[in-house]
Amino acid sequence: MDKIIVISMCLMGIKCRYDGRSIPWEELKFLKGRFFILPVCPEQLGGLPTPRPPAKIEREDGFSVLEGKSRVLTIEEKDDVTENFIRGAQETLKIVNTFREDIKAVILKEKSPSCGVKTIYNFNSDSLKAGKGVAAALFIKNGYRVLSSDELEKIKKL
Ligand code: SF4
C-alpha cells in the first residue's frame, strides 16, 4: 500500500535537536497531503534529553558503530553515548517495522550522527565526510529506502 513516510522529527518543526531547536517544516510540508507522516527522533528514543550535548561518531560511520568498531562521544566532555545511539536506532526501527509493508521511504536529517544519510561530521574537526549516522545505517541494513533531507528533488518524486 506504500502510504507512510517516516521522517526525522526535527524536520517537522519539532524542537528535538541537540540544541533544542528544529528545522522549518515548510520545505517538506507538501508530503503532508500525500502520505501519512510518521515522525521519529532516534536520539530521544535512546533516552537522551533535549537539549543535550552534541555528539559525533569517533571513527568511520554508523555502520562501524553498529558493528562495535566505533563509538559515539559527546564533543566537549567525550562522554560515551554509544549505547543511547544504538538503542535509539533499534527502538526507532521497532516502531517503523510495525508498519513495514506500508512504508514508502524514510527521510532523515542530513549530517546528524544518528540521521545523516550521505554525510556526517569528522570527529576531530568541523568538516564533513561521507558516511551514515547510526539510525540511517540500521534502516539501510534492514532494507528500507532511505533518503537524505537534502535530496529534495527525489523526495518530490515519491
Ligand atoms: Fe532527532 Fe534525528 Fe533530528 Fe537528531 S537529526 S534531532 S536524532 S530526528
- Going from N- to C-terminal start, the domains of the chain cover 4-156
Task: Over range 119-146, report the average pLDDT.
Answer: 98
82: pLDDT strictly greater than 60: yes
Within 6 A (CB) of ligand 1 lie 8-10, 16-17, 41-43, 109, 112, 114-115
Closest residue to atom 3 of ligand 1, CA basis: 10
Compute the CA torsion angle 9, 36, 156, 130 (nearest 10 deg). 40
26: pLDDT strictly greater than 80: yes
Ligand 1 atom closest to residue 8's alpha carbon, by position in its atom list:
8
For 59-79, how does the pLDDT look when each residue is reduced to its tens digit (9 = 90+)?
999 999 999 999 999 999 999
User: What kind and span of H or E run contains 109?
Assistant: none
Q: Among 41, 132, 147, name the best residue to mutate to test ligand 1's pocket (greatest count of ligand atoms within 8 A of Cβ).
A: 41
11: pLDDT strictly greater than 50: yes
Distance from Cα 98 to the centre of ligand 1, integer Å: 20
- Left, alpha or beta for 50 (phi > 0: left; psi -120 to 50: alpha)? beta
- Asked whether the ipTM of the predicted complex exceeds the cut of 0.85, the reply is yes
For 129-140, how does the pLDDT look when each residue is reduced to its tens digit (9 = 90+)?
999 999 999 999
Say if pTM beats, i.e. exceeds, 0.95: yes
1: pLDDT strictly greater than 60: no
Ligand 1 atom closest to residue 39's alpha carbon, by position in its atom list:
8
